[in-house]
């Protein structure tokens, strides 16, 4: 099914939602996006796997990037889409096919933007990082992601969410000594010792750092616990997996050092981590976006792909229609007026007075 990029943004969103694109199966939607964009003479279009990149080449002083992922979580009886009142229901409506629809509409209709624009539509955001399409582009074709400022069209309720938190997972191990449970005093129960780890977590007071004017709320929490050998054995090991969400005033190394300090005396094994990203609101293009969009600004409490842009030296924010608390739910929906509002705000930002480089 073809996509009409000149249709109403609500109708375009519904059409995109109805092309099933669970992570790893984005090809039909990527094909439709590519076909629609290649029909626009003011854009150059490139395809890398199931990632589609379209660019204006107008010689403007600045280049901005608008990016959105094409994939969704697995279906939950929530396709095809349906409209009830001012709400469009269906898998991916809020996360983030409504944002993709806004970007596609802008790509089609803003033919003379004040800044050159790169539109990026990518695969596999909802699954493991190794398959993330934006990551693949950053490694294989970083020039396609180059820009002065980027907007990731994640659902934010049409508010600007600056930067993102970093995330780190670690296994904190309590050691003991095995013994028969009938002679427990001859061993040392690691599960009991793990209570000290939980005590640390219960007593932990998360900080609320202010970074570039935005307040972030950190968190350190247990997310898994495992231990035990058999019903008649005193366990010699218990592992508590913790997740640390940290503000962008810390590097990943800083976060690791903090976790190790908090759990001094225990074995700490770092299993996963992703850097935070600063708000990126000081660049002139970012300042213009915040001023011209009229949107409120807040910190992003979570990790998003803005961190990948930060690693490339491109400041980025999250901005898009949709309530992020509805993402991945069976009853996921997006408010139709909010999609139109996002489109109009971004159009105002992109379609002002033209400035051409000498």
In our burial notation (b when 16+ CB lie closer than 10 A, e otherwise), range 241-279 reads bbbbbbbbebebeebbebbeebbeebebeeeebbbbbbb
| Mean pLDDT, rounded, for 78-88 | 97
- Quick check: 310 and 166 in contact, CB under 8 A? no
Rounded to whole angstroms, the Cα distance separating 292 from 294 reads 6
- Quick check: 337 and 116 in contact, CB under 8 A? no
Percentage of the chain exceeding pLDDT 70: 98
* pLDDT per position as a tens digit, 119-162: 999 999 998 888 999 999 999 999 999 999 999 999 999 999 99
The pLDDT value given to residue 1: 60
The pLDDT value given to residue 117: 98
The pLDDT value given to residue 254: 98
The pLDDT value given to residue 260: 98
* pLDDT per position as a tens digit, 89-126: 999 999 999 999 999 999 999 999 999 999 999 999 99
Active site residue 71: yes
| Mean pLDDT, rounded, for 42-58 | 98
Active site residue 344: no
Nearest alpha carbon to residue 300 among 211, 221, 234: 211
Q: Is residue 213's pLDDT more than 80? A: yes
Lowest-pLDDT choice from 52-56, 93-97, 211-215? 211-215
- Quick check: 225 and 238 in contact, CB under 8 A? yes
Rounded to whole angstroms, the Cα distance separating 219 from 201 reads 10
Rounded to whole angstroms, the Cα distance separating 152 from 298 reads 15
The pLDDT value given to residue 124: 96
| Mean pLDDT, rounded, for 62-72 | 97
Catalytic residue among 34, 125, 154, 157: 125
* pLDDT per position as a tens digit, 250-294: 999 999 999 999 999 999 999 999 999 998 788 888 888 888 888
The pLDDT value given to residue 268: 98
- Domains of the chain as residue ranges with CATH: 9-164+277-350 (3.40.630.10), 166-274 (3.30.70.360)
pTM summary value: 0.86
The pLDDT value given to residue 356: 35
Q: Is residue 358's pLDDT more than 60? A: no
* pLDDT per position as a tens digit, 170-195: 999 999 999 999 999 999 999 999 99
Q: What is the mean pLDDT of the chain?
A: 94
Catalytic residue among 26, 34, 62, 71: 71
Rounded to whole angstroms, the Cα distance separating 187 from 220 reads 31
| Token pair belonging to 126 | 């909802």
Q: How confident is the model at residue 35 (pLDDT cuts 50, 70, 90)?
A: very high
User: Burial of 206 by CB count in 10 Å (0-12 exposed, 13-18 middle, 19+ buried)?
Assistant: middle
């Amino acid at each position: 099914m073809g996509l009409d990029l000149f249709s109403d943004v609500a109708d375009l969103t519904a059409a995109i939602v109805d092309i099933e694109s669970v992570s790893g199966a984005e090809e039909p939607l990527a094909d439709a996006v590519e076909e629609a964009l290649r029909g626009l003479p003011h854009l150059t279009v490139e395809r890398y796997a199931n990632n589609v990149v379209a660019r204006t080449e107008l010689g403007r002083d600045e280049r901005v990037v608008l990016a959105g992922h094409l994939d969704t979580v697995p279906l939950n009886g929530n396709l095809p889409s349906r409209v009830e009142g001012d709400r469009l229901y269906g898998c991916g409506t809020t996360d983030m096919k409504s944002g993709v629809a806004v970007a596609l509409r802008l790509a089609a209709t803003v033919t003379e933007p004040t800044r050159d624009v790169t539109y990026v539509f990518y695969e596999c955001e909802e699954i493991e990082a190794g398959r993330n399409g934006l990551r693949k582009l950053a490694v294989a074709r970083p020039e396609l992601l180059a820009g002065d400022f980027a907007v990731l069209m994640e659902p934010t309720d049409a508010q600007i969410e600056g930067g993102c938190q970093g995330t780190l997972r670690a296994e904190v191990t309590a050691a003991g000594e095995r013994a028969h449970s009938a002679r427990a005093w001859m061993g040392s129960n690691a599960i009991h010792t793990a209570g000290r780890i939980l005590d640390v977590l219960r007593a932990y007071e998360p900080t609320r750092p202010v970074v570039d004017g935005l307040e972030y709320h950190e968190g350190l929490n247990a997310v898994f616990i495992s231990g035990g050998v058999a019903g008649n054995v005193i366990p010699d090991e218990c592992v508590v997996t913790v997740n640390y969400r940290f503000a962008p005033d810390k590097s990943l190394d800083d976060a690791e050092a903090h976790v190790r300090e908090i759990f001094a005396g225990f074995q700490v094994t770092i299993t996963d981590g992703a850097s935070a990203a600063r708000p990126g609101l000081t660049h002139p293009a970012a300042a213009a976006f915040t001023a011209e969009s009229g949107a409120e600004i807040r910190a992003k409490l979570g990790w998003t792909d803005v961190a990948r842009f930060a690693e490339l030296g491109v400041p980025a924010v999250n901005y898009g229609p949709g309530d992020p608390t509805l993402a991945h739910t069976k009853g996921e929906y997006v408010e139709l007026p909010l999609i139109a509002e996002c489109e109009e705000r971004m159009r105002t930002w992109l379609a002002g007075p033209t400035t051409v480089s000498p």
